[in-house]
Amino acid sequence: MKPKNVRLFIKPYCGWCHEAQEWLDERGIHYETLDVTASERARDEMEELSGQTLAPVIDVDGEVLADFDVEQLETFWDAKVGKTSD
């Protein structure tokens, strides 16, 4: 199943955020990047979705994973969307 809406909330200095972007890019997954340090609206939305201020946060068609590393992202993605090819 291909997701319709993938949004990644990031902080530019966050190593896990960069790793998440690389993971998504390597798999050709289209996503919107929202920098929560540059946009108060994005920060507020991230906090509302995740209940915290830590990044990264990914929203995949309304399913949210917060403060994760790439192993957790892969597990989440496989459970919510299906296996990706490496």
Sequential DSSP letters for 8-45:
EEE-TT-HHHHHHHHHHHHTT---EEEETTT-HHHHHH
**Tens digits of residue pLDDT in 21-76:** 999 999 999 999 999 999 999 999 999 999 999 999 999 999 999 999 999 999 99
Model's pTM, two decimal places?
0.92
pLDDT band at 84 (very low <50, low <70, confident <90, very high): low
Architecture of domain 6-80: 3-Layer(aba) Sandwich (3.40)
Nearest Cα to 2, choosing from 29, 21, 34?
A: 29
